[in-house]
Chain A
Amino acid sequence: MALLSSDNIKRIDLAGRVILTRVGLKISDENALMRLKSAGADVDFANKRVRFHGEWLDEMLRKAPNQFNLYSRDGKNDLRLGTGQVYFGNGGRVFRVLDMATQGFRRTLLRDVADTAGLTNVLNNVSFYIIACQAHDVDLPSYHLNDFFYAFNNTTKHVMGGCDTLDGLKQMWDLACFIAGGKDKFRERPFVSIITNPISPLTLDSTSLQIIEFCVLNGIPLACAPAPIAGATGPATLAGTLAQMHAEALAAVAISQAFSPGACVMYGAVPSAMDLRTMDLAMGSVETAMMNACAVSLAKIYGLPIYASAGVTDAKVPDIQSGFEKGVSCLLVAMAGADYIHLAAGMLDSGNSISYEQFVIDNEILGMVYRILDGVDVDANTLAVELVERVGPGGNYVTEEHTIQHMYRQFFYPALSVRKNFDVWEKDERPTPLTRANDFVHKWRQEHQPVLDPEQVLLIKERFAGIVNL
């Protein structure tokens, strides 16, 4: 069952385009307005409004690549966006972390950036790392130098993050080029990308525009992801929020192409909902999941790779709620065919907290989702009619060669789910996925090492004096 018929996909698309024509985006940045004007956009300087008319919009959208790669540093986890492959990663910049030992919460530190990057590096279903949390112990002048350095130092997977200022982005870029061995080398295989966000409804602030411009001109891949909240910063109808989000997302892609044709940018989608009983954010709501799945259909009209969201929960701790909210949303958005799904690992509390254990649990949920995406392979060998005939009524298949031949690939073998015999479970002190995740994290902490070569780290620290020691 598709959430949207093809007619309704077209109607939402059309509504979004009408919004772009009639309302447009509010942009106050003079430089951006000038650039967009010279690229042919309809710019109303007096009212700081940019409108995107059909033909010009389509011309810009056609320049955006339908396929591009986000690279890992070791080549083992390159993300081939636009090929139909679904990738999951964590999400960014929470300020609180659950400490399992005390069952308490504390503010996140730079150490947590390093550790979440390191943990993500060993979780096989998490394909990229987004700077997971804020480093409350790092001062502004060299903030992004530090959070990106400690990400790079602990994972070889593709790193993505937000930058608060243009200066912060430049710190990150200098560092990335140094690690890559030069600007050209970086452009060839960009192993870091940047997240920016329009402000819903329909506003793009100066800093975001400066960051977008710097990224597209320097070959840094980009997502500019609107995050309307249905009932608050978007209409209370799912279709209405989708139409507005679609307008914002298309505008962001068009602007990036106006700045630099062919720039690698994803269609961004972080729609969510509000619980209108209380005005609590409902990131884990089923409607959030539904809108993200629908957004995939909207992005695919234009053949754009999509940066979508799934796996957020409003639960405060890893529990039953986090399990079902994450399970439902990750599956729904993955089955819709999203290219790049963020927020899908480690997050709790509507995207305000993380838990190390939750990263490990989510990795398992994602394993199940990937198994579903693999589908059911049907051929003469898997149908096994001859085997059924040979084993015959009353026999069993346990020791058949066919069983051994297929057992690794046919089944997903969970690491955390408890399938033990009841008595064994009691004897083993009643393990749960959470206790097992906690054991995993403990073991990982004892074993994990930074991924950058220590000599390279010395060179980096010599070149970038602002990097603090952990």
Chain B
Amino acid sequence: MSYETLSDAVVKGDINTAKEATQRAVAAGDNIQDILDQGLIAAMDVVGGQFSKGLMFVPQMLRSAKTMQECVELLKPHFKEGEVTTKGKVVLGTVKGDLHDIGKNLVRMMLEGAGFSVIDLQVDVAPEAFVAKVNEEKAEIMGMSALLSTTMPAMSQTIKALVDSGIRDRVKVMIGGAPVTANYAEEIGADAYAPDAGSAVIEAKKMLGID
């Protein structure tokens, strides 16, 4: 089964065509994992390649990611427990006291586009809320974002909360945001620092040993 129509539509960010193609494939009884891997994720690899060459701009890439996400929604009812694998589960949010979420939203779209499953806790997320969700979802990665120097300490507090609840070694921690630096990440014991949304995907893959 070829997923050329589906892939092309995802690359173009053509949501309607992509959804139709997905529905057709499901109706034809295709393997759900094949649709995901060969249709959707393969398309996003093309998108990533074009983006890194400067042939695509961020809005186009994000639209492709959005297209893929809509298609994944159509596949979800057909997922059987343990049958379909994503690249990894990420719990994401801006830290306590911080309401600035544009960067975090870009990171979410990019991660989803790259095949990660993202649980977005939105903004102003308390340390205990991060910990509870990581625990509940058995997330492989926890991503925190802060724009203000005054909210950055909440990153450290959240990591401490992971340690205190005994699950720090079960999850990789990635941080980002304008004032955040690689040094700061190291200082507070985060596993990765991503300067932008594209790097977040690269770092996430690196941490999980993908690609």
Contacts and interface: CB of A to CB of B under 8 A. Distances in A.
Contacts of B63: 399, 404
A323 to B, nearest CB: 24
Contact of B181 (A396, A404, A407, A423): A423
B105 A404 contact: no
Given A407-B57, A423-B181, A398 B62 contact: yes
B195 A403 contact: no
B59 A399 contact: yes
A399 B195 contact: no
24 contacts: A396-B105, A398-B58, A398-B62, A399-B13, A399-B59, A399-B62, A399-B63, A399-B66, A399-B109, A400-B59, A403-B59, A404-B13, A404-B57, A404-B60, A404-B63, A407-B57, A407-B59, A421-B195, A422-B195, A423-B182, A423-B193, A423-B195, A424-B196, A424-B199
Interface in A301-344: none
Contacts of B13: 399, 404
Interface of A: 396, 398-400, 403-404, 407, 421-424
Contacts of B196: 421, 424
Contacts of B182: 423
B139 interface: no
Contacts of B102: 396
A403 B66 CA distance: 15
A56 to B, nearest CB: 59
Interface in B153-211: 181-182, 193, 195-196, 199
Nearest to B63: A399
A135 to B, nearest CB: 38
A398 B195 CA distance: 19
B106 interface: yes
Contacts of A404: 13, 57, 59-60, 63
B166 to A, nearest CB: 32
Interface string B64-77: 00100000000000
A398 B64 CA distance: 12
A457 B131 CA distance: 75
Interface in B51-99: 57-60, 62-63, 66
B105 A424 contact: no
A398 B181 contact: no
A58 B77 CA distance: 85
Contacts of A424: 195-196, 199
Which of A396, A399, A424 has its CB near the most chain B CB atoms (within 10 A)?
A399
B178 to A, nearest CB: 9
Contact of B59 (A398, A421, A422): A398
A422 B58 CA distance: 19
Contacts of B57: 404, 407
Given A399-B109, A407-B59, A423-B181, 17 more contacts: A396-B105, A398-B62, A398-B106, A399-B13, A399-B62, A399-B63, A399-B66, A400-B59, A404-B13, A404-B59, A404-B60, A421-B196, A423-B182, A423-B193, A423-B195, A424-B195, A424-B196
Contacts of A400: 59
B4 to A, nearest CB: 23
Which of A403, A404, A423, A424 has its CB near the most chain B CB atoms (within 10 A)?
A423
Contacts of A421: 195-196
Contacts of B181: 423
A407 B182 CA distance: 32
